[in-house]
Chain A
Amino acid sequence: MTLPELTTPCSPTWCPGCGNLPIWAAFKNAAVAQGWDNTNTALVAGIGCHGHLVNFTKLTALEGLHGRALPVACGLKLANHALNVFVFTGDGDCFGEGGNHLLHTARRNHDLTVLMHDNGLYALTTGQTSPLSPHGFTTKSTPQGNPDEPLNPLAIAIAAGATFVARAYAGDIPTLTQLIIAAQQHRGFAFVDVLQPCTTYNKQFTHQFFQENTYQLDSAYDPTNKLAAYAKAQDFGLKNIPLGLIYRGEKPCYEAQIPQIQTTPLVRQSLVRDNLAQLFKTYT
């Protein structure tokens, strides 16, 4: 597919400068480079501004209920594990409504590529605090400042069992493109925290803020050291926001451990029409 072929006739409805725009661009670049198309790829989105991405991208897509993108994606992957399955979710969708799903999808190491659009608030509903909003952050829902401490998405993903954990800045399209490709090539649960300015509702995490305060991890950093990765995941402050692959572990993905799908994806298997009468007799 070419870039124009990947784009639907629907014009993006995101705000000027929205971080969703470059994430969309990076994903399309990666798809063109890797040959992801409707024969081998499916998308799943949650609810939020990020979810519009599937309306503008001409690939087969499902949109789950709020926070439920991951279980939908797990079902899709189990039904046809030959597909590349990408999950687009927001920080509210993933860590608010969907926090429980994130923990268990990471724990099972499902072979999914998750791009979390992290703008630090609920933007589609016009700007309320999310579980990743900073302490003291002023929004419509916290006019006196957010009394809660934010969750740490990278540390939680590592602790829960994700085997590819990374962070990127949305505005750096070439680097994000390569990171999306690397995440997709990883066999297991790949989680990418994409720092995404919300130009309308988040006046703290702007493009300028991320450009001035992020840095790329260099080759001296060892992402296979889990304890070091956990420590690195704690860094988030002025001039101290690491980008790149934070942690990479090796363990079998969930789909590789299900005997029924080792030879043929479930979707290509014949229906077994057993007589259930004996089972009912045994268990009733």
Chain B
Amino acid sequence: MTDQSQDKIIQLGKYKVKVVRNLCIGAASCVAISPDTFVLDGQKKAVIQEGSQDVPENILMAAQSCPTAAILITNTETGEQVWPS
């Protein structure tokens, strides 16, 4: 089990986005897909940039590109976790 209690949740448009740091391996796939939303910090872990203007489809694709499914996305309009589905 991973401790997700310290992982920040950021609201971006209709999505709540969270990076589970213990799962992130720094593959940087999310950074490649949505550089406006994700950057790697000094520990080579993905962090979310507040205020990202990227479109929801691209943010979702960035999450789907993660090899360890470390990015969780919830649609706050429906309450549904859309990724991992």
Contact = CB atoms under 8 A, between A and B. Distances in A.
Contact of B65 (A17, A173, A207, A211): A17
For the complex of A and B, list the 5 residue pairs with the smallest distance between their C-beta atoms, beginning with the closest.
A17-B67, A25-B32, A21-B32, A22-B28, A21-B29
B64 to A, nearest CB: 7
Chain A, interface size: which category?
A: 20 to 34
B22 to A, nearest CB: 13
Nearest to A25: B32
Contacts of A12: 32-33, 61, 65
A173 B40 contact: yes
Given A16-B66, A199-B67, A22 B25 contact: no
Contacts of A173: 28, 31-32, 40
Contact of B66 (A17, A22, A170): A17
Interface of A: 3, 11-12, 14-19, 21-22, 24-25, 29, 170-173, 197, 199, 207-208, 211
Nearest to B25: A207
Nearest to B64: A16
A21 B33 contact: yes
Contact of B44 (A11, A19, A211): A211
Interface in B11-38: 25-29, 31-33, 35-36
B49 interface: no
A14 B64 CA distance: 11
B76 interface: no
Contact of A171 (B28, B61, B65): B28
Contacts of A199: 27, 67
6 contacts: A12-B32, A21-B27, A24-B32, A171-B28, A171-B44, A211-B26
A19 B64 CA distance: 15
